[in-house]
């Protein structure tokens, strides 16, 4: 049985706990989700247990009284129980946790939609 991580709208994956041996999994391991909850599009899945997501946003430039589009990339931990359903181009929801490695402090929680949005 997967545990409820306390974030509204996030449904635990339908994987048996014995199949997921990842200690950094918020559903089957010991890692807690706290802090920011955000979403982005998966742009890379080359590293083991890691995906790179891209977050697009607009920034107001006061001098010109205009907005400009910007983006940022986040390295996120991809747990074993979600690795089969997440592909490049998917919109995913990620949550902040403790540092997992030098660059990873977010964990993929769920797939929102498939394909680029």
- Whole-number pLDDT of residue 1: 61
pLDDT tens digits, 28-50? 888 899 899 999 999 999 988 99
Q: Which residues contact 100 (CB under 8 A, 6 or more apart)?
A: 24, 31, 77, 107
pLDDT for residue 55 is more than 80: yes
Query: How confident is the model at residue 7, as a pLDDT?
Result: 82
Look up the pTM and report it: 0.85
76, 106 contact by CB (below 8 A): yes
Per-residue confidence (pLDDT) for residue 42, from 0 to 100 = 95
Using the structure block, give the residue that is written with the tokens 């742009």: 43
Per the listing, tokens 């909850």 go with: 37
Q: Sketch the domain layout of the chain as residue ranges.
A: 37-113
Rounded CA-CA distance 27/9 in Å is: 14
Indicate the pLDDT class of residue 83, thresholds 50, 70 and 90.
Answer: confident
Contact 92, 86 (CB under 8 A): yes
Q: What does the mean pLDDT of the chain come to?
A: 89
Q: Give domain 37-113's CATH architecture.
A: Beta Barrel (2.40)
């Amino acid at each position: 049985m997967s545990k409820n991580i306390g974030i509204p709208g996030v449904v635990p994956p339908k994987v048996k706990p014995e199949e997921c041996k990842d200690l950094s999994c918020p559903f089957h391991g010991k890692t807690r989700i706290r802090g920011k909850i955000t979403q982005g599009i998966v742009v890379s899945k080359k590293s083991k247990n890691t995906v790179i997501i891209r977050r697009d946003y607009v920034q107001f430039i006061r001098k010109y009284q205009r907005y400009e589009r910007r983006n940022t990339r986040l390295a996120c931990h991809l747990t074993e129980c979600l690795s089969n359903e997440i592909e490049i181009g998917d919109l995913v929801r990620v949550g902040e946790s403790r540092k997992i490695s030098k660059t990873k402090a977010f964990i993929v929680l769920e797939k929102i939609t498939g394909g680029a949005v």
